[in-house]
Amino acid sequence: LPPSFLQEFSSYGSLGQNQFSQYYHLPPNYTSSTPPSADEHGSGTGAGAVGYSAVKSEEAASAGPPTGAHPLRLTRCGSPAAAHPLRLTRCGSPAGRGRSLIVHLCCFQRVFLWDLDETIIIFHSLLTGTYAQKFGKDPATMLNLGLQMEELIFELADTHLFFNDLEECDQVHIEDVASDDNGQDLSNYNFMADGFNGSGGAGGAAGAAAGVQGGVEWMRKLAFRYRRLKEIYSSYKGNVGGLLNPIKRELLLRLQSEIENVTDSWLTTALKSLLLIQSRGKCMNVLVTTTQLVPALAKVLLYGLGDVFPIENIYSATKIGKESCFERIVSRFGKKVTYVVIGDGRDEEFAAKQHNMPFWRISTHGDLVSLHQALELDFL
């Protein structure tokens, strides 16, 4: 494909280049250029039939920015076009409100479905003492570290990620309420006083009315929050310290380092595999966790995984379970892709079996090391 085609993608509409560059490593000769002037297929917006068919031709794909509730979003996987034939697959999520149609220009081969706790990061087992017990560590030290991390997680979630507002209306995926969004500019929007949780600045009757759950206006405010969440995540995923005051920043750095110490570099080892997968370009890392979405985002940011998991690739299975999450992911990436489930057992193993997906169990460091070796040897 001519380079200009891919340039058009990388500067697609209002989504910004960051959105794309985080997904993959662009070869150095790709530069972000101005949007294409040609706009023969001006109607290439919106979801549903129009949007979907529009991307079937290369010209249409470069049409104007998305409008309305169903932005048509294009993502490109990063393998050099010459090596692999491009394939268009539809990856809109199935039934339910608020799905934006994500169309992958794909030559995807593998999608790795990762569990979070006790697979990539060690957090929960610090608190419960199971890690200490299993690997012969001092429980008190571990507990202390766990508690400090927990405090940071919930502070970040409450302060910057709207957890107070969103705790009761948890979503599976960041895009799930996007259809209720009206796209208005949020740069000067006051989230503190818009009456979302009934205790808004207006107070009185107006505040109470606006706080009714489920109303159209309330849904819109909900959607604003998730949109802002997305923006915040994308901005700080490589630098969560920017969201914290200097003291907390220091604390976080110390905590990260100490946790790595006592867990014998668990996270570092896991990261090797994650980065290797990411560097392949034809492979994707997806996170499926039983933590609620907002705290999960906080965990990902604080453990430094923001650059590995774009926010669109994070799913919370709290409400619907891992099996259903997997189903959503399969309908997003298609059946031609090979899925590999990586987790420490329980739900993910069962869910993998239900979907006939191969499962790689993580119980010890050795399993993470073997995983990395298998990836290096191209066995996976």
Partner 1 sequence: MSMLPTFGFTQEQVACVCEVLQQGGNIERLGRFLWSLPACEHLHKNESVLKAKAVVAFHRGNFRELYKILESHQFSPHNHPKLQQLWLKAHYIEAEKLRGRPLGAVGKYRVRRKFPLPRSIWDGEETSYCFKEKSRSVLREWYTHNPYPSPREKRELAEATGLTTTQVSNWFKNRRQRDRAAEAKERENSENSNSNSHNLSSSMNGNKTLLGSSDDDKTPSGTPDHTSPSPALLLGSNAGLPSLHGLAPPPGPSAIPVPGGADSVHHHHSVHHDTILNSMSSNLVDLGS
Residue 40, exposed/middle/buried by CB under 10 A (0-12, 13-18, 19+)?
A: exposed
110 or 220: whose CB is closer to partner 1?
Answer: 110
Task: Single out the segment in contact with partner 1 by CB under 8 A; choices: 27-35, 206-214, 286-294, 368-376.
Answer: 368-376
Binding-site size, partner 1 (CB under 8 A): 18
* CB 356 to partner 1: min, Å: 8
* CB 183 to partner 1: min, Å: 40
* CB 378 to partner 1: min, Å: 6
Q: Is 197 in the site for partner 1 (CB under 8 A)?
A: no
Q: Is 162 in the site for partner 1 (CB under 8 A)?
A: no
Q: Is 338 in the site for partner 1 (CB under 8 A)?
A: yes
Residue 121's nearest CA partner among 313, 295, 251, 265 is 265
**Other Cβ atoms closer than 10 A to 167:** 13
Task: Single out the segment in contact with partner 1 by CB under 8 A; choices: 144-152, 166-174, 290-298, 359-367.
Answer: 359-367
186 or 374: whose CB is closer to partner 1?
Answer: 374
Q: Is 344 annotated to bind ligand?
A: yes
- Structure tokens, 61: 């794909």
State the catalytic residue, choosing from 115, 180, 181, 194. Answer: 115
Residues 83-122 that bind partner 1 (CB under 8 A): 109-110
Q: Is 274 in the site for partner 1 (CB under 8 A)?
A: no
Q: Is 115 a catalytic residue?
A: yes
Residue from 90, 124, 361, 365 touching partner 1 (CB under 8 A): that is 361
350 or 359: whose CB is closer to partner 1?
Answer: 359
* CB 91 to partner 1: min, Å: 19
Residue 356's nearest CA partner among 342, 341, 378 is 341
Whether 281 contacts 273, CB under 8 Å: no
DSSP letter at 181 equals -
* CB 357 to partner 1: min, Å: 8
* CB 108 to partner 1: min, Å: 11
Task: Single out the segment in contact with partner 1 by CB under 8 A; choices: 96-104, 145-153, 196-204, 358-366.
Answer: 358-366
Q: Is 115 annotated to bind ligand?
A: yes
* CB 380 to partner 1: min, Å: 5
Among all chains, which residue has been given the structure tokens 């560097």? 279
Among all chains, which residue has been given the structure tokens 């509409």? 13
Name the amino acid, one letter, at 303: Y
214 or 379: whose CB is closer to partner 1?
Answer: 379
Q: For 341-350, give one letter per residue: b (16+ CB within 10 A) or e.
A: bbbbeebbbe
The contacts found for 311-314 with CB under 8 angstroms, 24 or more apart, are 311/174, 311/229, 311/230, 311/233, 311/234, 311/237, 312/75, 312/102, 312/173, 312/174, 312/175, 313/284, 313/285, 313/286, 313/287, 314/173, 314/174, 314/286, 314/287, 314/289
Q: What's the CA gap between 228 and 102, in Å, rounded?
A: 19
The contacts found for 55-62 with CB under 8 angstroms, 24 or more apart, are 55/88, 55/103, 55/105, 56/88, 58/1, 58/5, 61/8, 61/9, 62/5, 62/8, 62/9, 62/12, 62/35, 62/36, 62/38
244 or 380: whose CB is closer to partner 1?
Answer: 380
Q: Is 359 in the site for partner 1 (CB under 8 A)?
A: yes
State the catalytic residue, choosing from 39, 117, 165, 170. Answer: 117
Q: Is 148 in the site for partner 1 (CB under 8 A)?
A: no
Q: Is 180 annotated to bind ligand?
A: no
Residue 135: strand, helix, or coil: helix
Q: Is 354 in the site for partner 1 (CB under 8 A)?
A: no
Q: Is 163 in the site for partner 1 (CB under 8 A)?
A: no
Distance of CA 123 to the CA centre of its chain: 19
Write down how long the chain is: 380
Residue from 9, 340, 347, 368 touching partner 1 (CB under 8 A): that is 340
Q: Is 264 a catalytic residue?
A: no
Residue 309: strand, helix, or coil: coil
Q: Which residues bind partner 1 (CB under 8 A)?
A: 109-110, 338, 340, 358-361, 366-367, 369-370, 373-374, 377-380
Residue set of the binding site: 115, 117, 344
What are the catalytic residues? Answer: 115, 117
Residue set of the binding site for Mg(2+): 115, 117, 344
